[in-house]
Amino acid sequence: MVQVKDYPEFSWSFTKHKMLLECELRYALSYYYSYGGWRQDASNRSRHIYRLKTLQSINMAFGSAVHSQIHRIVGQPDSWKKMPTESEIMTNVRADLNKAYQDSKYRHASWYENPSNTQMLMEIYYDGELPFEVIEDYQTRLPVTAQNLLSCPTIHHDLLQKRNDFKLITSERFRCIEFKGVKVWVVLDLLYQDLKNKKYVIVDFKTGKQSANGDEVTQLMLYAWFVRETFGIDSLEQIELRNEYLADGRTLTFIPTPFDFEKIEYLLHTSIERMHSYLKDVERNAPTELEQFQPTKNRRACERCSFRELCNVV
């Protein structure tokens, strides 16, 4: 008989790190108290928390749909000679968003019973409908995003014009490396080698505008640290970091420095230490009582949170 674990294996990711900084309660619900909620023998509370964890905002659904198209383009070298048109990209993204909408409006019972196989939009779950202005906003954003995707330097210049000097390493897959015995997970949108310039190029595609808190640069530096450790790169001049902002067509590039890697390792050390402080048993990754995790005081963060209906009852 396979023994079912009470808690997941402890690991670190930038997403988990940011969530803990923003709201301790959301972190606990996402990574501990929803665990096992997909099992038939799970408690009603665990199943309910797990259902809420699967909720997606329309912004998340849009980003996921666009990234599916990115992965179809960059993840299949044989298709680089024939890029999809803007119209094809928009059609596919609309189809994904329409499915999410149809699931949310008309398949509530299926989502309730099997939330991992049916989509539920957060706005429809909580408010019953998508506001017209939200739908209008995404109708406006979609053609701009499709156009900027196909015209960005990574796609238009590197894939189309330099494809013979381009070696794909990975596209939108989870990758793992250990840091002081802890698994660190990253998801690289795109990693390739520029064979002519002898560089590893790390690309992150953003469907939103640049944030003001610098998280996107930190995320890229984490990816650079991962690539250096994984491939044993000696010179940082061999690494190029690139953010492609599809909302406004901007491209930002960086070259990491030794100090950047010092900051990443310090971030990993302090963040893991803080996560451990919320455990009553580090070896089992068993969390403290839920009441020890404090909710955020940032009301705007609450509006984006899928667990907000629980804040008054946990």
Tens-binned pLDDT, residue by residue, of the chain (314 aa): 334 468 899 999 999 999 999 999 999 999 999 999 999 888 999 999 999 999 999 999 999 999 999 998 887 666 566 788 999 999 999 999 999 999 999 999 999 999 999 999 999 999 999 999 999 999 999 999 999 999 999 998 888 777 778 888 876 566 899 999 999 999 999 999 888 888 999 999 999 888 877 789 999 999 999 999 998 898 999 999 999 999 999 999 999 999 999 999 999 999 999 999 999 999 999 999 999 999 999 988 998 899 999 986 44
> Which uninterrupted H or E stretch holds 202?
strand 199-206
Per-residue pLDDT reduced to its tens digit, 72-124: 888 766 656 678 899 999 999 999 999 999 999 999 999 999 999 999 999 99
> CB 182: neighbour CB atoms within 10 A?
16
pLDDT at site 189 = 92
The sign of the torsion formed by the CA atoms of 51, 56, 61, 64 equals: negative
CA distances, 79 to each of 53, 83, 92, 106 (Å): 35, 7, 17, 36
pLDDT at site 311 = 84
DSSP strand pairing (173-179 vs 182-188): antiparallel
Q: Tokens standing for 134?
A: 């939200």
Alpha-carbon distance 185 to 195, whole Å?
Answer: 27
Q: Which runs of consecutive H residues, i.e. helices, occur in 152-292?
A: 160-161, 215-231, 258-276
pLDDT at site 159 = 82
The residue behind tokens 């995707």 is: 149
Rg over alpha carbons for the chain, rounded to the nearest Å, is 21
pLDDT at site 314 = 45
pLDDT at site 78 = 62
At residue 311, the 3 state secondary structure works out as coil
pLDDT at site 3 = 40
Residue 292: half-sphere exposure toward Cβ, Cα within 13 Å? 10
Beta bridge partners of 174: 187
**197, 162 in Cβ contact below 8 A?**
no
DSSP strand pairing (166-170 vs 190-194): antiparallel
> Which uninterrupted H or E stretch holds 96?
helix 86-106
At residue 106, the 3 state secondary structure works out as helix
> CB 241: neighbour CB atoms within 10 A?
22
- The predicted model scores a pTM of 0.91
